[in-house]
Amino acid sequence: MRVNPATALVASLAFGPASAINIISSNDDGWAEVNIRTLFQTLTDGGHSVVVSAPAEDESGTGQLHASPAPHLLHPTDRTRDRCRLISKDPDCPH
Protein backbone atom coordinates (compact mmCIF):
# COMPACT_ATOMS: atom_id res chain seq x y z
CA MET A 1 0.00 0.00 0.00
CA ARG A 2 1.40 3.36 -1.01
CA VAL A 3 0.24 6.48 0.84
CA ASN A 4 1.16 9.87 -0.53
CA PRO A 5 2.63 11.98 2.33
CA ALA A 6 0.55 14.96 1.15
CA THR A 7 -2.61 12.86 1.47
CA ALA A 8 -1.62 11.86 4.99
CA LEU A 9 -1.04 15.51 5.88
CA VAL A 10 -4.45 16.55 4.55
CA ALA A 11 -6.08 13.67 6.43
CA SER A 12 -4.43 14.68 9.70
CA LEU A 13 -5.47 18.30 9.24
CA ALA A 14 -9.05 17.32 8.43
CA PHE A 15 -9.24 15.34 11.66
CA GLY A 16 -7.40 17.65 14.05
CA PRO A 17 -6.89 17.19 17.80
CA ALA A 18 -10.48 18.25 18.52
CA SER A 19 -11.67 15.07 16.83
CA ALA A 20 -8.74 12.74 17.50
CA ILE A 21 -9.37 9.11 16.67
CA ASN A 22 -7.72 5.73 17.28
CA ILE A 23 -6.20 4.31 14.10
CA ILE A 24 -4.69 0.94 13.20
CA SER A 25 -2.46 1.16 10.12
CA SER A 26 -1.08 -1.86 8.31
CA ASN A 27 0.75 -2.87 5.15
CA ASP A 28 2.67 -5.84 3.81
CA ASP A 29 5.81 -3.88 2.89
CA GLY A 30 7.23 -3.80 6.43
CA TRP A 31 7.09 -1.24 9.22
CA ALA A 32 10.29 0.49 8.05
CA GLU A 33 8.74 1.43 4.69
CA VAL A 34 8.74 5.23 4.29
CA ASN A 35 5.02 5.65 3.50
CA ILE A 36 3.65 3.87 6.57
CA ARG A 37 6.16 5.71 8.80
CA THR A 38 5.20 9.06 7.24
CA LEU A 39 1.53 8.28 7.76
CA PHE A 40 2.21 7.32 11.39
CA GLN A 41 4.18 10.49 12.09
CA THR A 42 1.69 12.78 10.35
CA LEU A 43 -1.31 11.31 12.15
CA THR A 44 0.35 11.30 15.58
CA ASP A 45 1.50 14.89 15.00
CA GLY A 46 -2.17 15.64 14.33
CA GLY A 47 -3.12 14.30 17.76
CA HIS A 48 -4.36 10.85 16.78
CA SER A 49 -3.51 7.57 18.51
CA VAL A 50 -1.93 5.27 15.91
CA VAL A 51 -0.88 1.62 16.08
CA VAL A 52 1.18 0.26 13.18
CA SER A 53 0.83 -3.45 12.48
CA ALA A 54 3.31 -4.50 9.81
CA PRO A 55 5.90 -7.21 9.26
CA ALA A 56 9.51 -6.59 10.24
CA GLU A 57 10.59 -7.23 6.64
CA ASP A 58 8.93 -6.77 3.25
CA GLU A 59 6.34 -9.54 2.81
CA SER A 60 4.71 -8.32 -0.42
CA GLY A 61 3.22 -11.16 -2.41
CA THR A 62 3.56 -13.79 0.34
CA GLY A 63 -0.08 -13.91 1.42
CA GLN A 64 -0.79 -17.18 -0.40
CA LEU A 65 2.13 -19.15 1.07
CA HIS A 66 1.44 -22.15 3.29
CA ALA A 67 3.84 -22.95 6.11
CA SER A 68 3.83 -23.99 9.74
CA PRO A 69 3.72 -21.07 12.17
CA ALA A 70 6.89 -20.09 14.03
CA PRO A 71 7.08 -18.98 17.68
CA HIS A 72 5.84 -15.49 18.51
CA LEU A 73 8.51 -13.38 20.18
CA LEU A 74 7.87 -9.97 21.71
CA HIS A 75 10.82 -7.57 21.68
CA PRO A 76 10.81 -4.03 23.09
CA THR A 77 12.45 -1.54 20.76
CA ASP A 78 15.25 0.79 21.71
CA ARG A 79 13.31 4.01 21.13
CA THR A 80 10.42 3.88 23.60
CA ARG A 81 8.78 1.49 26.01
CA ASP A 82 5.42 1.67 24.20
CA ARG A 83 6.82 0.30 20.94
CA CYS A 84 7.50 -3.35 20.39
CA ARG A 85 7.71 -5.81 17.59
CA LEU A 86 6.05 -9.18 17.37
CA ILE A 87 7.91 -11.68 15.23
CA SER A 88 5.65 -14.22 13.58
CA LYS A 89 6.09 -16.20 10.40
CA ASP A 90 2.53 -17.50 10.08
CA PRO A 91 1.63 -16.62 6.46
CA ASP A 92 -1.99 -17.64 7.03
CA CYS A 93 -2.36 -14.93 9.68
CA PRO A 94 -3.77 -11.60 8.44
CA HIS A 95 -1.14 -8.86 8.30
Return the percentage of the chain with pLDDT > 70, whole number. 48
- The partner residues of 49 in beta bridges, in order of sequence, read 22
Q: Tell whether 84 is covered by a domain.
A: no
Let me know if residue 47 belongs to a domain.
Answer: yes
Q: Give 79's Cβ-side CA count (13 Å radius).
A: 4
Establish if 94 belongs to a structural domain.
Answer: no
CB 58 within 8 A of CB 29: yes
Does 80 map to a domain?
Answer: no
pLDDT tens, the chain, 95 aa long: 577 777 776 666 665 556 788 999 888 888 888 898 899 999 999 999 998 888 877 878 776 666 666 655 555 555 555 565 555 555 555 54
The verdict on residue 49 lying in a domain is yes
| Contact assessment for residue 87 and residue 53, using Cβ atoms and an 8 Å cutoff | no
Residue among 78, 24, 33 nearest 53 (CA)? 24
Tell me if 91 is assigned to some domain: no
Q: What's the number of domains the chain is made of?
A: 1
Q: Which domain holds residue 42?
A: 5-66
Residue 27 placed within a domain: yes
